[in-house]
Chain A
Amino acid sequence: MKPRVLWIEDSAQFELSSLVGPIYYDGNYDLDIAEDVTKAIRLMSAIHYDVLIVDVRLPPGIDHHWRKLYEKAGADKVRAHLGLRLLGWLLKKENNVFHEAPPPWVHPTRIAVFTVESKKEILACLDDYGISLYQQKSAGHEDTILLEMIRILLARELAGNGTH
């Protein structure tokens, strides 16, 4: 079976759509995209993914709980940092973020953060979560950057090495 990849990114199919084409054309990965936290959780609860690539600034989607967290932060994606809260819940680092149990297969070595935030802004959090791969979104990156991130994570997973 092809490795399964979930990219949680609200602009995955707008300004970042050029990054998806190479993955489909490559044909070696089964890529799903979730545009908000609700959809991401729904997919992760039903499908075992090999790789997660997560944005930090995410909208909450339709779920009341995540909407409440979002509204508490002034309905501002930048302040809400729902991507990090989602990761905190997935990796059991933050209690009381969400009432359901996270999927058991999630492991920090399978996760990459792909965000516009600089590493300095979220480094403490990434270290705390043990997340091994970070990439900042910037203008002019290669169209294959997402494909490369997937390859790196899978290679590390195979090598059993989850270091930065």
Chain B
Amino acid sequence: MNPPPYDGIGTFLVFLIGIPALVIQFMPPEVRALIMKRWRHMLRFALLAGGWIVLALFVSTIGIVGQLNCVPSVTEKYICPLFFDRGWIWEAWLWPLVFVLLSSITIAASITVITQFGRRTKLVDGWRGQAVRHLNKDGRLDPKALHDLIDLGRASDGGLEKDIVLQALFQITERVYHSKHYEGDSLEILLEGLADVVVTDPHLGNSRNFETVMDILQSVVAEVPIGANGPPPDLLHAVGGLSTIGQVAVRHLNAQVAAKPIVSGYIISLSLAAERHPRISTSVSEALRDLGIIAIETGQMFLALKAFEKLEIRIESQSEHSVHGEVVHDTLALLAHFWTTGPTARGYVNKQIVEILPYLDSGRHDALLAAQQHAARTSHFQTADRIGEMAAQMEENT
């Protein structure tokens, strides 16, 4: 009888151990770091890879033990005397069977380890499922899974890789709307994380990422349930995200052809938020002012006009009583930035000021003075100077 083929068995086992090692080696660093971060992910990886190795060891052991002890006596007793030499029959049937099993285990191990841990989409799907697992019970999302997704999104390259994470976050928000427990206060981590994912150096998102984020925020604004109490927290977070990320989008996407539709989406969503709950008009008007000013500074007049149009709507929608306060200050501040860009823009401002004056509770001079003081109080010194400049020139012209 020949000794068991230890070399062959050893080769299979070394290859099998090499599969998880290779998967870890070729994993993107951000994915590897996240798997190493949580013991739960580590355990899952170890169980999956280790399980196949244990199974292969078991099959090999049966083969070795069988050859050395059990099967010869069986073949001797029943088969060998009748047909073959006992050693020959054993080597002819048992080891091909063992190696077929070992090959199958190796193939199965390669497929499962690579698909479960080597593919970003599979990992993201897993974390997405984990994030919503308690949703139907208490309406809450799993914060650890959400943080893992956000961390992965932040460390991923802009473009397709970030978008895989953002699409998962979008699907989570959709699940949240459809949960019967949702009352407008479940998305804080997710909404605050969006800015981390898309505007973190050195992995700034591309135009597609900014659009997906806009889609998420716009859907939150449109879907969040509005109760009798104040604005729901998720609406406030969404407005914060639209403002912060929208401002980066105006600057970052400036040279790209997709800038107009994407940033317009941020502006429309802000306006929609104020319509859904008028008590957040102040935050919305600040955001529209800032977006408009950046658009003027970067020469994107189309977007600045759109921001102004939405500010004007805010004034008109509050016109049951005379309008005063921040919405007016922000509108005049944006007009002052238009004013300093040239004579054509000044013509536009003169026309628009006539349109909004009837809605204000004070005359043009007083409104501009109040807006200037407001800008100075809130540290917007450049804006205060521009309002002062516009007011002085308007006085001269009249």
Name B's interface SS: helix
B19 at the interface (CB under 8 A from A): no
Which residues in window 4-23 of A have CB below 8 A to B?
Answer: 12-14, 17, 20-21
Interfacial chain A residues near B305, Cβ < 8 Å: 21, 24-25
Whether A2 touches B313, Cβ cut-off 8 Å, given contacts A43-B268, A62-B215, is yes
Of the listed stretches B104-112, B258-266, B386-394, chain A binds B258-266
Interfacial chain B residues near A24, Cβ < 8 Å: 302, 305-306, 309
Contact B222 A45 (CB under 8 A): yes
Could you mark each residue 16-42 of chain A with 1 if its beta carbon is under 8 Å from any beta carbon of chain B, else 0? 010011001101001111010011001
Residue A30 contacts which of B222, B257, B313, B351 (CB distance < 8 angstroms)?
Answer: B313
Which residues in window 33-67 of A have CB below 8 A to B?
Answer: 33, 35, 38-39, 42-43, 45-47, 61-62
A24–B260 CA distance with the chains assembled, in angstroms: 14
Query: Shortest distance in angstroms between B287's beta carbon and chain A's nearest beta carbon?
Result: 17
Whether A20 touches B218, Cβ cut-off 8 Å, given contacts A27-B309, A46-B276, is no
Chain B, interface residues (CB within 8 Å), range: 20 to 34
Interfacial chain B residues near A139, Cβ < 8 Å: none
A43–B309 CA distance with the chains assembled, in angstroms: 17
Contact B260 A42 (CB under 8 A): no
Contact A1 B260 (CB under 8 A): no
Contact B218 A31 (CB under 8 A): no
B298 at the interface (CB under 8 A from A): no
B348 at the interface (CB under 8 A from A): yes
Interfacial chain B residues near A1, Cβ < 8 Å: 313, 316-317
Contact B348 A47 (CB under 8 A): no
A42–B223 CA distance with the chains assembled, in angstroms: 9
B272 at the interface (CB under 8 A from A): yes
Query: Shortest distance in angstroms between B363's beta carbon and chain A's nearest beta carbon?
Result: 21
Query: Shortest distance in angstroms between B66's beta carbon and chain A's nearest beta carbon?
Result: 54
Contact A42 B219 (CB under 8 A): yes
A12–B316 CA distance with the chains assembled, in angstroms: 26
Residue B272 contacts which of A35, A43, A61 (CB distance < 8 angstroms)?
Answer: A43
A43–B221 CA distance with the chains assembled, in angstroms: 10
Chain A, interface residues (CB within 8 Å), range: 20 to 34
B352 at the interface (CB under 8 A from A): yes
Could you mark each residue 91-130 of chain A with 1 if its beta carbon is under 8 Å from any beta carbon of chain B, else 0? 0000000000000000000000000000000000000000
B45 at the interface (CB under 8 A from A): no
Interfacial chain B residues near A2, Cβ < 8 Å: 312-313, 316
Contact B261 A12 (CB under 8 A): yes
The residue on B at minimum CB distance from A44 is B222
Interfacial chain B residues near A20, Cβ < 8 Å: 302
Which residues in window 70-98 of B have CB below 8 A to A?
Answer: none
Contact A14 B276 (CB under 8 A): no
Contact A14 B257 (CB under 8 A): yes
Residue A47 contacts which of B219, B264, B272, B302 (CB distance < 8 angstroms)?
Answer: B272
Contact A46 B309 (CB under 8 A): no
Contact A39 B275 (CB under 8 A): no
A85–B202 CA distance with the chains assembled, in angstroms: 43
Which residues in window 312-370 of B have CB below 8 A to A?
Answer: 312-313, 316-317, 348, 351-352, 355
A1–B315 CA distance with the chains assembled, in angstroms: 10
Contact B317 A25 (CB under 8 A): no
Chain B residues packing against A (C-beta within 8 Å): 170, 215, 218-219, 221-222, 257, 260-261, 264-265, 268, 272, 275-276, 302, 305-306, 309-310, 312-313, 316-317, 348, 351-352, 355
Chain A residues packing against B (C-beta within 8 Å): 1-2, 12-14, 17, 20-21, 24-25, 27, 30-33, 35, 38-39, 42-43, 45-47, 61-62
A-B CB contact pairs (8 Å), 26 listed: A2-B313, A13-B261, A13-B264, A14-B257, A14-B260, A17-B260, A21-B305, A24-B302, A24-B306, A25-B305, A25-B348, A27-B351, A27-B352, A27-B355, A30-B310, A31-B309, A33-B261, A38-B215, A39-B215, A42-B219, A42-B222, A43-B222, A43-B272, A46-B276, A47-B275, A61-B215
